[in-house]
């Protein structure tokens, strides 16, 4: 059974034929994530079937995602802590005439927004997509106000859904991680009122007033730091990897909730000294409900916050690898069904990359069918190993097919070379299976 059939085994769309169509469609999209829907489907019948599936109003995107969430929870149960990262990304469909699209950052742009909850382990292994908000904004009124539900609710509702999930994971502690936009007192109050079934770690946006001439960030950094931490900042677009040294402060305090009460929180400030080359130093200010009494505990919170980058990589795969902004489906509801399928495909690609790095000796057969890992060797013109290879060996071979050079100084492959290589692997594996079927029928080509 391939990974798609396993991941969506419990899918219930009200009709077995819909389930069969969904699984077949995900297999096609994962085989060719950068292709258009007609190109991925391969023939006219499958293409028509795909468009009918996306247009079926009886299929809810929540039902499509449900089995993946179920399997994600099962993967989460193996970990002591799971980071549940939330963030929002724009889906720009400017120039398309899909019904229901709305303005984006600029009122003239047309598109919609996606706000998922992305679960990873503390070692950054992608575990799955747990939830999603998808919406299109309504145009502003003449007075500048925008009708509709306040968008800030997505952060609070995201926490509430994790709180509902927490009882399913009695031996796993969930940690809600988000950037500055989630620095909302209403979110912290809601977590407090629920008894904090899920821990939270937010980047601080507001330098809150704690008293007369007393503000949050200056109070925390008023004394000596707890010490310094060091880590290597990975290369980003336009910058090379570099070592970062930060001084760290942490203090437990009470944040006024605006209604005469308080929220107990710890504020952490990690500050890099000015750099000789004029590059902007890195400073993070974090808020958490967790106690931080030692430098080691502060370093762990900072490391967990740094793991938020994984959702940015997920968005990168989704938008540039799966090219969801090129979808032409005619309405927001159709786009939502497609986005859910592509989110699972993007998770799979990101998971392969991370496991190849963090668990290099893992048996490749846990992630690939025999035809797939054998295809990686054949297409690289290498002799098949006598024993099943490791995951890292296969991932590197796949990435080489996508342009990874595999030189000593190149490190480990990134998601782009993996998704490009996977297309060749899956096509070749499909050819192997087809030839095997012909042989079984006594036919030849």
Confidence class of residue 331 from pLDDT cuts 50, 70 and 90?
A: very high
Q: How many residues does the chain have?
A: 445
Residue 139's CB is within 10 A of a number of other CB atoms, namely: 9
DSSP per-residue letters across 225-268: -SEEEEEEEPPBTTB--EEEEEEEEEEEEEEE-SSS-EEEEEEE
| pLDDT for 238 | 59
346-360: average pLDDT: 82
pLDDT(115) > 90: yes
101-105: average pLDDT: 89
Contact yes or no for 344/119 (Cβ under 8 A): no
Q: Whole-angstrom Cα distance, residue 367 to residue 395?
A: 10
Instruction: Outline where DSSP puts E strands in 167-222.
Output: 173-178, 199-203, 209-211, 214-215
SS3 content of the chain, % helix, strand, coil (to 5): 45, 20, 35
Q: Whole-angstrom Cα distance, residue 431 to residue 218?
A: 64
Alpha helices for 42-177 (secondary structure H): 44-54, 61-76, 153-165
218-242: average pLDDT: 82
How does pLDDT run across 273-298, given as a tens digit for each residue? 887 777 788 899 999 999 999 999 99
pLDDT(445) > 60: no
Identify the CA nearest to 304 among candidates 129, 119, 151, 146.
Answer: 119
Contact yes or no for 47/40 (Cβ under 8 A): no
| pLDDT for 98 | 86
How does pLDDT run across 2-47, given as a tens digit for each residue? 888 899 999 999 989 999 999 999 888 888 877 888 888 888 888 9
pLDDT(196) > 90: yes
Q: Whole-angstrom Cα distance, residue 229 to residue 292?
A: 15
| pLDDT for 206 | 92
pLDDT(133) > 60: yes
280, burial (CB in 10 Å: exposed 0-12, middle 13-18, buried 19+): exposed
Q: Whole-angstrom Cα distance, residue 151 to residue 291?
A: 30
Confidence class of residue 305 from pLDDT cuts 50, 70 and 90?
A: very high
């Amino acid at each position: 059974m391939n990974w798609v059939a396993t991941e969506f085994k419990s899918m219930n769309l009200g009709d077995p034929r819909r389930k069969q169509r969904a699984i077949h469609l995900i297999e096609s999209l994962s085989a060719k994530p950068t292709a258009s829907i007609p190109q991925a489907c391969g023939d006219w019948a499958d293409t028509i079937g795909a468009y009918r599936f996306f247009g079926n109003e009886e299929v809810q995107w929540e039902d499509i995602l449900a089995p993946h969430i179920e399997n994600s929870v099962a993967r989460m149960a193996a970990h002591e802590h799971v980071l549940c990262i939330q963030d929002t990304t724009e889906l720009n469909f400017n120039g398309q005439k899909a019904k229901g699209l709305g303005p984006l950052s600029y009122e003239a742009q047309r598109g919609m927004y996606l706000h998922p909850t992305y679960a990873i382990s503390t070692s950054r292994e992608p575990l799955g997509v747990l939830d999603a908000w998808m919406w299109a904004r309504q145009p502003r009124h003449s007075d500048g106000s925008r009708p509709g539900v306040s968008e800030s609710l997505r952060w609070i509702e995201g926490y509430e859904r994790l709180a509902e999930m927490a009882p399913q994971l009695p031996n796993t502690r969930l940690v809600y991680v988000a950037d500055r936009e989630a620095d909302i007192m209403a979110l912290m109050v809601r977590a407090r009122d629920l008894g904090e079934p899920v821990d939270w770690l937010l980047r601080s946006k507001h330098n809150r007033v704690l008293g007369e001439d007393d503000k949050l960030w200056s109070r925390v950094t008023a004394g000596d730091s707890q010490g310094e931490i060091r880590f290597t900042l990975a290369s980003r677009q336009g910058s090379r990897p570099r070592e970062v040294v930060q001084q760290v402060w942490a203090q437990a305090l009470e944040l006024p909730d605006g209604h005469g009460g308080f929220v107990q929180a710890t504020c952490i400030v990690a500050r890099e000294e000015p750099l000789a080359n004029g590059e902007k130093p890195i400073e993070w200010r974090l808020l958490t409900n967790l106690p931080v009494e030692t430098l080691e505990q502060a370093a762990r919170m900072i490391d967990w916050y740094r793991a938020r980058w994984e959702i940015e990589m997920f968005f990168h795969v989704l938008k540039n690898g799966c090219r969801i902004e090129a979808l032409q489906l005619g309405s927001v509801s159709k786009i939502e069904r497609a986005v859910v399928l592509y989110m699972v495909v993007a998770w799979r690609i990101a998971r392969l990359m991370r496991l190849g790095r963090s668990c290099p000796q893992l048996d490749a057969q846990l992630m690939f069918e025999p035809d797939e890992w054998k295809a990686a060797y054949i297409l690289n013109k290498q002799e098949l190993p006598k024993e099943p290879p490791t995951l890292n060996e296969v991932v590197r071979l796949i990435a080489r097919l996508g342009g990874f050079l595999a030189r000593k100084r190149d490190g480990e492959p990134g998601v782009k070379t993996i998704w490009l290589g996977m297309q060749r692997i899956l096509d070749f594996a499909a050819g192997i299976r087809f030839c095997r079927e012909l042989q079984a029928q006594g036919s030849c080509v």
